[in-house]
C-alpha cells in the first residue's frame, strides 16, 4: 500500500485521479500554465499510451478519468507530474508579467525543502488518490463530478461552457481541447 493508502493496482483499470497544486495555489488562472498541462496530456496520449476518458483543469487542480494502453499508468503519471512541475516552475521564473512570481516560488521552494523526494521545488501535492472505476454507477458519478466542478465553483453556469474540460465532448458531442475516448 502506498504512503496514503491509494495505489494503482489493476493495470487494465480505469481510474479517477486528481492532482492538486501545493497550498492549492491558483496557478492555472493563466493561459501559459494551462497550455503546459494540455500539451503534456496530449504528449502522454501520443507517446506514452495514456487514454483520457474525461478531464477538467481547474485553477489549482486537475481531474482525470484515465487508463493506460500497454503501459504502466503509475509511470505515466510520475513522468507527467515531474515534467509539468519542472516546466511550470521554469515558466513562472521566466514570466516577467507574473505579478505573483515571488510569492508562488517561495511557497514551492518551502514545500520542496519539506519533502526529501524533491531537490528544490515542489509543485504538485504528493497525493493523487487514484480510485478505480469499478462500476458504471461509480464511473458516471465521477464523470458528473468532473464536469460539474466548474459549475459548483461558480466559473460557468453550465458544464459545456467550460473550455478546460471534456464536458463539451460529452454534452454537445463536439471536439474539445483534448481528444478523448468515450466511456
Domains of the chain, earliest start first: 15-172 (3.30.70.1290)
**CA separation, residue 67 to residues 73, 93, 118 (Å):** 6, 33, 27
Q: What's the pLDDT at 130?
A: 92
Cell of 138: 461509480
Residue 17: which pLDDT band, with cuts at 50, 70 and 90?
very high
Q: Which residues contact 34 (CB under 8 A, 6 or more apart)?
A: 28, 57, 164
Average pLDDT over residues 12-25: 95
For the stretch 24-72, pLDDT in tens is 999 999 999 999 999 999 999 999 999 999 999 999 999 999 999 988 9
d(CA 102, CA 23): 15
Residue 6: which pLDDT band, with cuts at 50, 70 and 90?
low
d(CA 152, CA 155): 8
Report long-range pairs for 109-115 (Cβ below 8 Å, ≥24 apart). 111/22, 111/23
Does the pLDDT at position 120 exceed 90?
Answer: no
Nearest to 74 by CA among 6, 120, 5: 6
Does the pLDDT at position 4 exceed 70?
Answer: no
Q: What is the pTM of this model?
A: 0.92
For the stretch 153-172, pLDDT in tens is 999 999 999 999 999 999 99
Amino acid at each position: 500500500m502506498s504512503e496514503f493508502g491509494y495505489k494503482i493496482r489493476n493495470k487494465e483499470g480505469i481510474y479517477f485521479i486528481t492532482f492538486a497544486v501545493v497550498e492549492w495555489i491558483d496557478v492555472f488562472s493563466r493561459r501559459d500554465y494551462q497550455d503546459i498541462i494540455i500539451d503534456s496530456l496530449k504528449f502522454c496520449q501520443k507517446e506514452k499510451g495514456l487514454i483520457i476518458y474525461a478531464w477538467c483543469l481547474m485553477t489549482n487542480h486537475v481531474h482525470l478519468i484515465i487508463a493506460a494502453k500497454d503501459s504502466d499508468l503509475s509511470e505515466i503519471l510520475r513522468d507527467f507530474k515531474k515534467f509539468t512541475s519542472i516546466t511550470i516552475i521554469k515558466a513562472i521564473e521566466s514570466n516577467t508579467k507574473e505579478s505573483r512570481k515571488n510569492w508562488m516560488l517561495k511557497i514551492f521552494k518551502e514545500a520542496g525543502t519539506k519533502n526529501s523526494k524533491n531537490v528544490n521545488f515542489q509543485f504538485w501535492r504528493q497525493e493523487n488518490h487514484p480510485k478505480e472505476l469499478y462500476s458504471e454507477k461509480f464511473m458516471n458519478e465521477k464523470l458528473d463530478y468532473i464536469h460539474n466542478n466548474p459549475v459548483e465553483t461558480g466559473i460557468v453556469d453550465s458544464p459545456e461552457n467550460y473550455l478546460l474540460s471534456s464536458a463539451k465532448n460529452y454534452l454537445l458531442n463536439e471536439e474539445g481541447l483534448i481528444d478523448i475516448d468515450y466511456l
